C-alpha cells in the first residue's frame, strides 16, 4: 500500500518521524510523502509498514501535510526519490487512520494463526466497526460525524443510501443519483429493520457505513439475483435532514374539540413542524405539496381565539410566516391573484413587512397593474433601500412600463389609422 501526500514539504515531517523509517521493514507496505527540498527537487519519505504509519500518526507528524492521501497496493518498494506513484483511491487523514487500524488488527489475527486471506472483505471491515445491537447484527463505522441530537423514533428522515453485496463494487440499490430523497417516516416507511435501527444511531449530516446480518436485512431467502441467500449487506447512509413529528402526529389524531383546547405552545410547534415540511417540499420544487403543507399549518389556528394579547401576538407571528410562504409559492405556481391575497393578509398582521410588500409588488406586476406594483415596491424600498431583489424588481417594472407604453401607442396608431377619411380625388 502506498500513501501519497501531495504538495507538502519534507520538513513538515519531523526528524523523529523519519527515524521510524528504519524500523520493521519486513512488511510490504510503504507510505510515501512527496515534498520539495531546498533546491526545489521532489523527495519522498517512506514509512515501511502499518506500525510505522501508526507511530507517525500518533506523533501527529503528518498533520502539517496536505489533508488528502492516495492509497494503492503495489508489489514493490519505492525508493526515497521515486515520484511516479500509481494511485487508485483518495482518503482523508481519518480514513488513513482507520485503514492502518484495521491492517494492524489483521496482522494481530495473522499472528494468532489466521491469515488475512482467510477473512472476507466484510469480515476485515467488521474488525473496526462498533456493534450497535449487542448481537453483531448491526455494525457501524462513522465516516463523517454529524451534529446535534440523535434522530428520535418519531422523526421523518431524508437520507441518501447505497447498498452493497459482498465482493461487489457497485450498489444493488441506491438513491444518491435520484436527487433530493423524500422524507420517510420512521416506523412506517422503512421496511428494512437494520436500516431503521441504523438511522436511530445517527445525527444530522452524519455519513456512516453499516453491516447488516441477514436477520436485520433480507433474511435467509435474500432477494435473488441481486441479493444472495442468507447474505450480509453493507449500507452507506447519509442523513440529509430530519423533522421530529411527535407533536404534529399527536395533534392531528385528536378530535376537533380536543384540538380547540390544545396547549398553545404545543400548537405553535405543530404549525412550525408542518411549515418545515412545506419548506422541504419547496426546496425540492414540489410547489403544490409545499402549498398544501402551508395551508395545513395555517388550519391549526382556524378555531383559536385567544383572549391574552401575548398569545394573540404569538399566533400572529406564526400566521405571518405562513402567509408569506403561501404568497411566494403562489408566485411560483403562476397564481398572482392568490399571491396578492396572501401578501395583503400578511400586511394586515404587519403593515410594514418588506417581504409582504415585495410579494404584493411582484403579484401586481404579473397582473399588469403597474401603478399598484410601483406603490408596493417603493414602500418596500423605503424600508430596505439596499435590498437587491426590490431594486431589481423596480428596474424590471420600469422596463415593463416602457414596453406597455410602446404597445399602447402602436395600438392607438392602428385604431386612428382605420378611421382616417379617404383622400378626395378631383
Cα 130 to Cα 238: distance, rounded to the nearest angstrom: 17
* Confidence band of 57 (pLDDT split at 50, 70, 90): low
Cα 164 to Cα 172: distance, rounded to the nearest angstrom: 6
What is the pLDDT averaged over residues 314-341? 96
Cα 426 to Cα 420: distance, rounded to the nearest angstrom: 18
The pLDDT value recorded for residue 28 is 34
Q: Left if phi > 0, otherwise alpha if psi is -120 to 50, otherwise beta: which for 425?
A: beta
Quick check: helix, strand or coil at residue 150? strand
DSSP per residue, 218-237: TTTT-BTTTB-TT--EEEEE
Cα 325 to Cα 281: distance, rounded to the nearest angstrom: 12
Mean pLDDT score of the chain: 78
CB contact at 8 A, 99 and 30? no
* Confidence band of 92 (pLDDT split at 50, 70, 90): low
What is the pLDDT averaged over residues 4-21? 40
Quick check: helix, strand or coil at residue 202? coil
Cα 362 to Cα 368: distance, rounded to the nearest angstrom: 10
Residues facing 359 on adjacent strands: none
For the chain, domains (ranges, CATH) are 2-111 (no CATH), 128-244 (3.10.50.40), 248-411 (1.25.40.10)
CB contact at 8 A, 83 and 42? yes
Cα 397 to Cα 393: distance, rounded to the nearest angstrom: 6
Side-chain-facing half-sphere of 60: CA atoms under 13 Å:
2
210-240 pLDDT, tens digit each? 999 999 999 998 888 888 899 999 999 999 9
Mean pLDDT comparison of 166-170, 253-257, 359-363, 394-398, highest-scoring range: 359-363
Cα 425 to Cα 419: distance, rounded to the nearest angstrom: 18
- 161-165, 301-305, 364-368, 404-408: least confidently modelled range: 404-408
If residue 31 lies in a helix (H) or strand (E), which one and from where to where?
strand 30-36
Report CA dihedral (204, 210, 215, 216) to the nearest 10 degrees.
10
Is pLDDT of 280 > 50? Answer: yes
CB contact at 8 A, 342 and 358? no
Is pLDDT of 278 > 90? Answer: yes
What is the pLDDT averaged over residues 388-406? 86
Place of cell 521493514: 25
What is the pLDDT averaged over residues 279-304? 93
Amino acid at each position: 500500500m502506498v500513501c501519497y501526500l501531495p504538495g507538502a514539504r519534507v520538513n513538515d515531517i519531523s526528524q523523529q518521524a523519519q527515524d521510524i523509517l528504519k524500523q520493521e521493514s519486513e512488511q510490504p507496505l510503504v507510505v510515501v510523502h512527496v515534498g520539495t527540498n531546498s533546491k526545489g527537487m521532489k523527495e519522498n519519505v517512506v514509512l515501511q509498514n502499518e506500525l510505522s504509519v501508526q507511530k507517525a500518526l500518533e506523533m501527529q507528524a503528518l498533520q502539517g501535510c496536505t489533508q488528502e492521501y492516495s492509497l494503492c497496493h503495489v508489489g514493490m518498494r519505492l525508493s526515497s526519490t521515486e515520484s511516479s506513484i500509481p494511485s487508485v483511491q483518495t482518503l482523508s487523514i481519518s480514513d488513513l487512520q482507520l485503514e492502518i487500524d484495521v491492517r494492524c488488527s489483521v496482522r494481530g489475527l495473522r499472528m494468532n494463526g489466521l491469515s488475512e486471506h482467510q477473512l472476507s472483505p466484510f469480515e476485515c471491515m467488521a474488525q473496526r466497526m462498533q456493534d450497535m445491537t449487542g448481537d453483531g447484527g448491526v455494525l457501524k463505522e462513522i465516516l463523517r460525524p454529524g451534529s446535534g441530537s440523535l434522530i428520535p423514533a418519531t422523526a421523518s428522515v431524508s437520507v441518501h443510501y447505497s447498498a452493497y453485496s459482498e465482493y461487489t463494487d457497485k450498489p444493488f440499490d441506491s438513491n444518491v443519483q435520484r436527487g433530493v430523497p423524500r422524507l420517510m417516516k420512521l416506523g412506517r416507511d422503512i421496511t428494512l429493520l437494520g436500516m431503521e435501527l441504523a438511522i436511530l444511531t445517527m445525527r444530522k449530516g452524519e455519513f456512516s457505513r453499516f453491516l447488516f446480518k441477514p436477520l436485520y436485512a433480507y433474511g435467509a431467502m435474500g432477494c435473488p439475483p441481486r441479493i444472495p441467500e442468507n447474505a450480509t449487506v453493507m449500507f452507506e447512509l447519509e442523513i440529509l435532514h430530519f423533522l421530529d413529528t411527535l407533536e404534529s402526529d399527536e395533534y392531528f389524531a385528536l378530535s376537533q374539540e380536543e384540538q380547540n383546547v390544545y396547549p398553545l405552545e404545543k400548537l405553535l410547534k405543530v404549525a412550525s413542524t408542518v411549515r418545515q415540511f412545506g419548506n422541504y417540499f419547496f426546496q425540492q420544487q414540489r410547489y403544490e405539496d409545499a402549498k398544501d403543507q402551508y395551508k395545513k399549518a395555517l388550519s391549526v389556528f382556524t378555531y383559536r381565539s385567544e383572549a391574552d394579547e401575548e398569545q394573540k401576538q404569538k399566533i400572529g407571528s406564526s400566521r405571518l410566516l405562513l402567509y408569506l410562504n403561501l404568497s411566494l409559492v403562489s408566485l411560483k405556481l403562476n397564481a398572482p391573484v392568490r399571491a396578492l391575497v396572501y401578501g395583503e393578509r400578511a400586511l394586515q398582521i404587519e403593515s410594514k413587512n418588506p417581504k409582504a410588500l415585495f410579494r404584493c409588488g411582484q403579484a401586481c406586476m404579473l397582473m399588469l397593474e403597474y401603478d399598484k406594483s410601483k406603490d408596493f415596491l417603493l414602500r418596500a424600498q423605503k424600508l430596505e433601500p439596499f435590498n437587491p431583489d426590490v431594486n431589481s424588481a423596480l428596474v424590471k417594472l420600469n422596463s415593463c412600463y416602457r414596453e406597455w407604453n410602446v404597445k399602447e401607442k402602436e395600438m392607438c396608431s392602428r385604431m386612428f389609422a382605420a378611421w382616417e377619411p379617404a383622400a378626395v380625388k378631383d
